[in-house]
Amino acid sequence: MHQQLEGRLPLVAILRGLEPTRAVEVAEAVVAAGFDILEVPLNSPEPFVSIAAIVEALGRRALVGAGTVLKVEEVDELDAIGARLVVSPNCNPPVIARSARHGMVSLPGVVTPSEMFTALDAGASGLKIFPAELFAPSAVKAVRAVLPASEPIYMVGGIHAGNMGEYLAAGAAGFGMGSALFKPGKSIAEISRDAAAIVAAFRAAEAG
């Protein structure tokens, strides 16, 4: 596990569609609820502006970066603004390797065992199984048996309080939470409420 992931709550706040004018207040709300890994997908409005603002405000308290990172040039731009997290929907070895070279956390999207080992060989910090709906807990248990024990698996897509426990028992380390946590237009009060509920659900699932 990458040292920047150690000791953090293994829940990634996926803030897709976040606008720069709301970036800091939304990020502060989810961090206050217990999240400390934040991802702004690059298909959001002016994502680098939002990420830079969040890094400045919360970079010492949270691991902040981008999702939907598809190009090495985007990795370089993220590094330049102080982001430390690179999340991708796919397994792109050059993007993973560039992230590792910058000392950033790289969580590429994978589904097959071949993609998983390709990602790890390229320097991935952990694996994002996406979409999780295609991957039952029994499948997680099967691949967990052959993957290095130190490499965390994050499930993304269709995750809710009712299935967290099954995935954790199968060997997943944590989850990415998107529309259940944030969507454009959602109020800060609603974001705070839902973020706290997700953290509580994870804690309960973790406790068994």
- Residues with a catalytic annotation lie at 39, 128
Amino acid at 194: D
Q: What is the DSSP letter of 89?
A: S
6 class by beta-carbon count within 10 Å (0-12 exposed, 13-18 middle, 19+ buried): exposed
State how far the Cα of 169 lies from the Cα of 187, in Å rounded to an integer: 34
State how far the Cα of 172 lies from the Cα of 144, in Å rounded to an integer: 8
- The DSSP secondary structure of 157-193, one letter per residue, reads SS--HHHHHHHHHHT--EEEE-TTT--TT--HHHHHH
Amino acid at 103: G
